[in-house]
Amino acid sequence: MNIIDIITKKKNHEPLTTEEIKYVIENYLNDNIKDYQMSSLLMAIVLNGMNEEEINSLTKFMLESGDRIDLTSLGTAVADKHSTGGVGDKTTLIVAPLVASCGVKVAKMSGRGLSHTGGTIDKLEAIPGFVTNLTEEEFLNQVNNIGLSIITSTKNLVPADKKIYALRDVTGTVESPALIASSIMSKKIASGSHNLVLDIKVGSGALIKDLETAKELANIMIKIGNSNNMKVICLLTNMDIPLGNNIGNTLEVEEAINILMGKTDGPLKELCVAIASYMVSLGLNISYEEAEKQILDNLKTGKAYTKFLEFVQAQHGDLSKMTKKANIYQVKTNKPGYLTNIDAYKLGRLSMELGAGRENKEDTIDYSAGIIINKKINDYLNIDDVVYTVYTNKDINNLKFDIFTLSETPIENPKLIYEIIK
């Protein structure tokens, strides 16, 4: 058995055996398979897919490549969530303290940015001093004490996925239901929670571009979860336009704080309430309606924001030192009209070019870089109205006008949640 034969087999649309997938994972981890060879196999998987048996085997061997977290000491009121990645998606920063404020513990391991989409850990590390690499003991103690902790994966938790994930980010091999499902579910199973809410993004700014593929991915992950004693609920949500107004790490932390403080309404808040309500419903074994009432009450009273502050302090973050040290540019309209489209993918790519994301594994993020969208869909804009504002420390040659569309008439307001699959 060798990697060249396995690459050729997948290139020719042939399914890989359980033994071949095991060989790939074990030998990539011990460096017998090189990055360029793994990249070739990943591209073949992106192009030709994997069947259910292959996906189950890939998940199994990635899961078995490291340790698992035992959350039994936290009790049964525990829930986790995951987003497949989108532009401006800072839901975890809002949802986690919301859920914890209702008495459901959130022991969450998150990742860094993937392609044009941001990562929760990058956003948290925009808070000066914030520590994301706690030991397992520190992690569990914090969840027991305040009900919430968010960290990077421990060194021995699904190391195969960690290595493959970083490679996918920089080789154009992100958009594959098989790779997405095995990556997410191996980490979530290893993380120990038996209640999981998945936010599957769909649209131009997401890894998944169409509803049919999103439904396929949802059903794959629900099956994997159920076979591992995990309850899974999937929300299919709109990512044709960015989520919220802010894109970029410091900017997204600021927007999350504004939601938790009750200063901002809109689709971002609506989605966070829905995700949090499903998590609390699973964690406390109550109806969605009962959970939603608790969530809304805790937003209104400030209990959720207090939990966020407690969480940041526990992980040594200092919000008072968070600043935007960047040059500011405004993009204005050159004609009047209704704002009928904001291209999430193009904004995500622009944000990455400004310094808010990574082109290569070794790139350093500029936490202050990013974009604020100043208008919303169906706003009427006059000439010279500011559509979006750019923050960057890089030289800007020209800012793009093809990111947004102005029309003579408004459109039907975009749907936020397409479907919920259980």
CATH of the domain at 30: 1.20.970.10
238 Cα distance to chain centroid: 14
Q: Is 73 a catalytic residue?
A: no
User: Residue 392 pairs with which residues in a beta bridge?
Assistant: 327
Q: Check residue 117 and give its pLDDT.
A: 67
Same domain membership, residue 362 and residue 316 = no
Same domain membership, residue 136 and residue 217 = yes
Cα separation, 406 vs 414, in Å, equals 15
Query: Is the per-residue pLDDT at 116 higher than 90?
Result: no
Asked if residue 271 lies in contact with residue 95, where contact means CB atoms within 8 angstroms, the answer is no
Same domain membership, residue 210 and residue 146 = yes
Same domain membership, residue 139 and residue 102 = yes
Tokens 């006008």 correspond to: 401
Cα separation, 192 vs 9, in Å, equals 35
Cα separation values, 352 from 77, 91, 195, 204, Å? 38, 19, 33, 16
Cα separation values, 102 from 79, 95, 235, 312, 373, Å? 12, 11, 21, 18, 32
Q: Note whether residue 54 is domain-resident.
A: no
Q: Note whether residue 161 is domain-resident.
A: yes
Q: Is 385 a catalytic residue?
A: no
Residue tagged active-site, from 110, 153, 176, 183: 183
Nearest 5°: the CA angle 174, 166, 313 is: 110
Cα separation, 186 vs 85, in Å, equals 17
Q: Is 183 a catalytic residue?
A: yes
Mean pLDDT value across the chain: 93
Query: Is the per-residue pLDDT at 190 higher than 80?
Result: yes
Same domain membership, residue 365 and residue 332 = yes
Confidence band for 119, pLDDT divided at 50, 70 and 90: confident
Q: Note whether residue 345 is domain-resident.
A: yes
Query: Is the per-residue pLDDT at 217 higher than 70?
Result: yes
Q: Check residue 113 and give its pLDDT.
A: 67
Q: Is 161 a catalytic residue?
A: yes
Residue tagged active-site, from 10, 60, 81, 82: 82
Residue tagged active-site, from 80, 161, 240, 343: 161
More confident residue, 18 or 172: 18
CATH of the domain at 150: 3.40.1030.10
Give the phi and the psi of residue 83 in degrees, each rounded to 5. -110, 145
Same domain membership, residue 90 and residue 154 = yes
Residue tagged active-site, from 123, 187, 188, 201: 187
Beta strand 417-421 with 370-373 is unpaired
Q: Check residue 396 and give its pLDDT.
A: 80
Question: What three-state secondary structure class fits 44?
Answer: helix
Q: Is 303 a catalytic residue?
A: no
Same domain membership, residue 186 and residue 108 = yes
Query: Is the per-residue pLDDT at 397 higher than 90?
Result: no
Per DSSP, 117 falls in state B
Asked if residue 99 lies in contact with residue 276, where contact means CB atoms within 8 angstroms, the answer is yes
Q: Check residue 85 and give its pLDDT.
A: 80
Cα separation, 163 vs 155, in Å, equals 11
Same domain membership, residue 385 and residue 333 = yes
Please say which residue of 320, 344, 374 terminates a domain: 320
Q: What is the pTM of this model?
A: 0.91
* Residue 140: Cβ-neighbour burial (10 angstroms; 0-12, 13-18, 19+): buried
Please say which residue of 296, 320, 344 terminates a domain: 320
Cα separation values, 205 from 128, 131, 164, Å? 28, 29, 22
- 149 CB-near residues (< 8 Å, 6+ apart): 106, 107, 108, 134, 139, 142, 143, 311, 314, 315
| Overall number of domains in the chain | 3
> Which tens digit of pLDDT belongs to each residue from 218-251?
999 999 999 999 999 999 999 999 999 999 999 9
Please say which residue of 267, 294, 320 terminates a domain: 320
Domain ranges, residue 375: 325-407
Rg (CA), the chain: 21
Residue tagged active-site, from 168, 194, 215, 349: 168
Tokens 């008439």 correspond to: 409
What percentage of the chain exceeds 70 in pLDDT?
Answer: 97
Q: Note whether residue 316 is domain-resident.
A: yes
Same domain membership, residue 293 and residue 161 = yes
